[in-house]
Amino acid sequence: MNPVLLMDFGSTYTKVTAVDLDAEILLGTGAAYTTVETDISIGLENAIAKLEEKTGPLDFSQKFACSSAAGGLRMVTSGLVPELTAEAAKQASLGAGAKVVGVYAFQLTPEDLVEIEKQKPDIFLLVGGTDGGNSACILHNAKMLASTTSSFPIVIAGNRSVAHQCQEILRDKETYLCENVMPKFGTLNIAPAQKQIRELFLKKIIQAKGLSHVTSLISGILMPTPSAVMKAITLLADGYEEELGIGELLAVDVGGATTDVYSVASGAPTRSNTVWKGLPEPYSKRTVEGDIGMRYSIQGIVQAAGIERISQISGIPVSRAEELIAYLSCHTDCVPGENPELQKLDFALAAMAIATAVTRHAGHVEEAYTMMGLTYLQTGKDLSQVKQMLVTGGSLIHTSHTAQIAAYGFYDPQNPMSLKPKEAQIWVDRSYILAAMGLLSETHPKTALRIMKKELRHDGNSE
């Protein structure tokens, strides 16, 4: 046996996963409250103790960890044009595991600065202009940021002709210079900025969570948790060497505060007479819906779906549904348990969380009339032909209705211009191993892939 320990220091729970590299199997998992206020190693020890109740004592040959910083690193980005450089900055931020709380286009105003300071970002990503292109906007925004009293670090990843000038303007701030996220019109180069954001992310979470106290116990903090999940999902879709993946994939993680959606697919148009509009989409893409969550962001689901729709799906009268939702928003640790009414309500909430988040993640088409007749313009990714959907999150793994809930992420005839999957095989991460497998894939990708193919369970097709 060659056991390895994989740790995820979450905002609420510290989760541990043990695998045997020799047998390529999952040995067990454990979780305990993250003890940030006292000593984070206490929560880790408690989680390992719960793990070893199932496995017995283990002598780990390696220990790797990932973490999220207080629910996600808060990013604000600014660019020149909303559909181009600002969108490129947003993609770079989300791909690095951040939570984007503000996106600004064109020149920053004094009102924008007030709003940004209220948002209290952990990092600001400053972009704008292609290389040799427009320089006025990014220079103006650098001068505006120089006037702020906030101390957030600034990553400069815009027009290289003036990038050093921006850094000089911001000489009193903590700045990092990267390659332009859009060096040429319509061409993305987000990897260098993502790498820098991840490095700052890890520095931030080590400080914020006191992980410096446990770094001696582990082989290394490798990546932010969202990055680990993205690596696992990409590996599962694409495979590794002769070990085949399962093909293009959509994944949804419905949490208490946010709903994350990942897609590993080209997203190219599949409809006839359709052309892409805007920036090309990344093959591996992540979006975060910060207003959609089962408890902390429960009101966001209600606002997006409407209380009447939730009442219709759950079969609970509107007045009673409103009463229960108000209760859950104040009692965020409440779980349905054996309560049939709460089970029905959580079904409806999870269904609408998936429907909303996948609709926002997937692309859409719009009609345009040209000299050649009717044409469709596609914005975002076409996921209509994706045949695999992976779901996780408490509301989906602790229910017997997983497939029915997940099916709300499929194409809806009432929204015919959306490019959501038409139908898909449902996979379920019931043991919360995705982040752990992303960690493991850094050193043992084939083993991580084989374990996922064993552990992620089919849950039938849509009904």
| Residue 42: CATH number of its domain | 3.30.420.40
Which residues fall within 8 angstroms of residue 345, CB to CB, at 6 or more apart? 310, 314, 316, 321, 324, 325, 328, 336
Whichever domain contains 190, its CATH number is 3.40.50.2300
Residue 108: which of 97, 121, 117, 95 has the closest Cα? Answer: 117
* 164 in a structural domain: yes
Indicate whether 242 and 162 sit together in one domain. no
Question: In whole angstroms, what is the distance from residue 166 CA to residue 171 CA?
Answer: 9
Tell me the C-alpha to C-alpha distance, in Å, between residue 315 and each of 230, 306, 320: 36, 14, 10
Of 164, 191, 218, the domain-final residue: 218
pLDDT score of 297: 87
Select from 383, 393, 448, 453 the least CA-distant residue to 422. Answer: 383
3-class state of residue 446 by DSSP: helix
In a domain, 230, yes or no: no
**Looking at the domain assignment, is residue 228 inside a domain?**
no
The answer on 418 and 290 residing in a single domain is: yes
The DSSP secondary-structure symbol of 21 reads T
Q: How many domains does the chain have?
A: 3
Per-residue exposure over 211-239, b if at least 16 CB sit within 10 Å of its own CB, e if not: beebeeebeebbbbbbbbbbbbbbbbbbb
pLDDT value of position 157: 92
406 occurs within a structural domain: yes
C-alpha distances (whole Å) from 330 to each of 220, 299, 300, 322 are 37, 11, 14, 13
Q: List the structure tokens of 423.
A: 């139908």
Are 11 and 74 in contact by the 8 Å Cβ rule? The answer is no
* Structure-block tokens of residue 400: 């017997």
Q: From first to last of the 463 residues of the chain, give the pLDDT tens digit.
A: 899 999 988 767 788 999 999 999 999 999 888 765 666 777 888 999 999 999 999 999 888 988 775 555 788 888 877 767 677 777 777 766 667 788 888 899 999 999 999 888 888 999 988 899 889 999 999 999 999 888 899 999 999 999 999 999 999 999 999 999 889 887 888 889 888 887 887 776 665 555 555 555 666 666 788 888 999 999 999 999 999 999 999 999 998 888 999 999 999 999 888 888 877 788 999 888 878 889 888 999 999 999 999 999 999 999 999 999 999 988 888 888 889 999 999 999 999 999 999 999 999 999 888 777 888 899 899 999 999 999 998 889 888 899 999 999 999 999 999 999 999 999 999 988 999 999 999 999 999 999 999 999 776 443 3
Task: State how far the Cα of 220 lies from the Cα of 65, in Å rounded to an integer.
Answer: 6
**Would residue 463 count as lying in a domain?**
no
Domain assignment of residue 297, yes or no: yes
**Can you give the pTM of this predicted structure?**
0.82
pLDDT of residue 151: 85
Statement to judge: residues 28 and 130 lie in one domain? no
What range does the domain containing 141 cover?
73-199
Q: Are residues 451 and 345 in the same domain?
A: yes
- Looking at beta carbons, which pairs linking 283-286 to residues 24 or more positions away fall under 8 Å? 284/95, 284/230, 284/233, 284/234, 285/91, 285/94, 285/95, 285/361, 285/381, 286/94, 286/95, 286/97, 286/226, 286/230, 286/260, 286/261, 286/262
Residues 39, 123 within the same domain: no
Q: Are residues 263 and 278 in the same domain?
A: yes
Output phi, psi for 445, to 5 deg: -60, -40
| Residue 46 contacts residue 52 (beta carbons within 8 Å) | no
Query: For tokens 């509009």, what's the residue?
Result: 277
Residue 28 lies in a domain: yes
Residue 263 sits in the same domain as residue 144:
no
Same domain, 107 and 65: no
Handedness of CA 429, 339, 346, 8 (dihedral sign): negative
**342 and 358 assigned to the same domain:** yes
440 and 389 co-located in one domain? yes
Query: Measured over all CA atoms, what is the biggest interatomic distance in the chain, rounded to whole angstroms?
Result: 72
In the chain, the N- to C-terminal Cα span, in Å, equals 42
Residue 226 domain flag: no
202: amino acid identity, one letter: L
Contacts of 187 (CB under 8 A, 6+ apart): none
The token pair that represents 244 in the structure block = 């085949």
Residues 447 and 358 in one domain: yes
Q: Which residues contact 158 (CB under 8 A, 6 or more apart)?
A: 79, 85, 126, 127, 128, 129, 138, 166, 180, 181
- The answer to whether residues 291 and 423 belong to one domain is yes
